[in-house]
Structure 1
Amino acid sequence: MYSDLRSWPIFNSLEPKFVSQIHMVFVYGKLGNEALIVTKDKMVYGLGNNVNGCLGIGDENSTLELKKVEALCGKDIKTFACGIGPHVLALTKEGEVYSWGSNHCGQLGHGSIIDNAPMLNVPILVKEDIIDIACGSSHSTVLTKDCKIYMWGDNQYLQLGFLNSQHYSDEYNNYYNGRFYTTSQLTFRAIPVLLELINEMKVVCVSCGGTFTIVITENGKVYSCGNNSVGQLGRPSNKNIDELRQVDSLNDKAFTVIKVVCGFEHTLALTDDRQIYAWGGNNNGQLGIGNQNDSTKPILVECELQRIKWIDIVALSCYNISVAVSEEGCVYVWGDCRGESILTPTATSFSNVHDAIAYYGPSVMHKPLVLYMSEGPSILESLKASFDESSTSDLKIQVEDQFIHVHKAILMIRSEYFKNMFQHDWIENNQNVIKHDQFSYAVYKAFLKYLYIDAIDLPIEEVSDLLDLAESYCEKSLKHSCIQMIKQGITASNVEYFHGIALKYALEELQEFCIKFALINHTSALMLRQDDFAKQVQNIIKIFIMKACEVNNFNSISLS
Structure 2
Amino acid sequence: MEEELPLFYGESGKSVQATLSSLKMLDVGKWPIFSLCSEEELQLIRQACVFGSAGNEVLYTTVNDEIFVLGTNCCGCLGLGDVQSTIEPRRLDSLSGKKIACLSYGSGPHIVLATTEGEVFTWGHNAYSQLGNGTTNHGLVPCHISTNLSNKQVIEVACGSYHSLVLTSDGEVFAWGYNNSGQVGSGSTANQPIPRRVTGCLQTKAVVNIACGQMCSMAVVDTGEVYVWGYNGNGQLGLGSSGNQPTPCRIAALQGIRVQRVACGYAHTLVLTDEGQVYAWGANSYGQLGTGNKSNQSYPTPVVVEKDRIIEIAACHSAHTSAAKTQGGHVYMWGQCRGQSVLLPHLTHFSCTDDVFACFATPAVTWRLLSVEPDDHLTVAESLKREFDNPDTADLTFLVDGKYIYAHKVLLKIRCEHFRSSLEDNEGNVVEMSEFSYPVYRAFLEYLYTDSISLSPEEAVGLLDLATFYRENRLKKLCQQTIKQGICEENAIALLSAAVKYDAQDLEEFCFRFCINHLTVVTQTSGFAEMDHDLLKNFISKASRVGAFKN
How high is the TM-score relative to the length of structure 2? Answer: 0.66
Question: Deviation digits for residues 498-522 of structure 1, max 9, x if unmatched?
Answer: xxxxxxxxxxxxxxxxxxxxxxxxx
One of 12, 27, 34 as aligned partner of 1:4: 27
For the pair shown, the structure with the greater C-alpha radius of gyration is 2
Partner residue of 1:203? 207
RMSD: 3.6
Partner residue of 2:370? 369
1:109-124 matches, cutoff 5 A: 109-115=132-138, 117-124=139-146
CA distance in 2, matches of 1:137, 1:443: 56
8 A contact 1:255–1:273 mirrored in 2: no
SS in 1 for 2:143: coil
Report deviation, 1:289: 0.5
Shift of the 442–143 alpha-carbon distance from structure 1 to 2, 3 Å rule, reads farther
8 A contact 1:7–1:355 mirrored in 2: yes
Task: Figure out how many residues of one structure are paired with residues of the other and give that number.
Answer: 398
Partner residue of 1:16? 39
Shift of the 110–259 alpha-carbon distance from structure 1 to 2, 3 Å rule, reads same
Shift of the 3–156 alpha-carbon distance from structure 1 to 2, 3 Å rule, reads closer
1:327-338 matches, cutoff 5 A: 327-338=327-338
CA distance in 2, matches of 1:380, 1:123: 48
Partner residue of 1:552? none
8 A contact 2:26–2:45 mirrored in 1: no
Uncovered stretches (5+) of structure 2, i.e. residues with no partner: 1-24, 390-404, 416-442, 453-466, 486-551
Question: Deviation digits for residues 198-241 of structure 1, max 9, x if unmatched?
Answer: 25112111110000011111111111111110100001221101
CA distance in 2, matches of 1:380, 1:340: 42
Question: Deviation digits for residues 510-542 of structure 1, max 9, x if unmatched?
Answer: xxxxxxxxxxxxxxxxxxxxxxxxxxxxxxxxx
CA distance in 2, matches of 1:439, 1:285: 53
One of 156, 164, 167 as aligned partner of 1:143: 167
Partner residue of 2:197? 194
CA distance in 2, matches of 1:21, 1:6: 13
8 A contact 2:188–2:246 mirrored in 1: no
Report deviation, 1:27: 1.0
1:3-402 matches, cutoff 5 A: 4-115=27-138, 117-124=139-146, 126-127=149-150, 128-164=152-188, 187-198=190-201, 200-251=204-255, 254-303=256-305, 306-361=306-361, 362-374=363-375
Shift of the 431–286 alpha-carbon distance from structure 1 to 2, 3 Å rule, reads same
**Alignment-mate amino acid for residue 241 of structure 1:** Q
Shift of the 88–378 alpha-carbon distance from structure 1 to 2, 3 Å rule, reads farther
CA distance in 1, matches of 2:380, 2:56: 27
**Alignment-mate amino acid for residue 11 of structure 1:** F
CA distance in 2, matches of 1:153, 1:200: 24
CA distance in 2, matches of 1:354, 1:209: 18
1:430-445 matches, cutoff 5 A: 431=472, 434-436=475-477
SS in 1 for 2:323: strand
8 A contact 1:89–1:98 mirrored in 2: yes
Shift of the 142–440 alpha-carbon distance from structure 1 to 2, 3 Å rule, reads same
**Alignment-mate amino acid for residue 282 of structure 2:** G
Report deviation, 1:164: 3.1
**Alignment-mate amino acid for residue 300 of structure 1:** P
SS in 2 for 1:118: strand
Report deviation, 1:18: 3.0
CA distance in 1, matches of 2:236, 2:29: 34
Report deviation, 1:355: 1.7
**Alignment-mate amino acid for residue 63 of structure 1:** T
CA distance in 1, matches of 2:353, 2:200: 33
CA distance in 1, matches of 2:220, 2:311: 17
Report deviation, 1:408: 4.6
SS in 2 for 1:27: strand
Report deviation, 1:442: 12
Shift of the 21–196 alpha-carbon distance from structure 1 to 2, 3 Å rule, reads same
Report deviation, 1:443: 12
CA distance in 2, matches of 1:284, 1:160: 27
How high is the TM-score relative to the length of structure 1? Answer: 0.65
Partner residue of 1:473? none
Report deviation, 1:366: 1.0
Task: Kindly indicate whether structure 1 or structure 2 has the higher relative contact order, using CA contacts under 8 Å at least 6 residues apart.
Answer: 2
Report deviation, 1:431: 3.6
Partner residue of 2:536? none
Report deviation, 1:392: 11
8 A contact 2:381–2:450 mirrored in 1: no
8 A contact 1:58–1:69 mirrored in 2: no
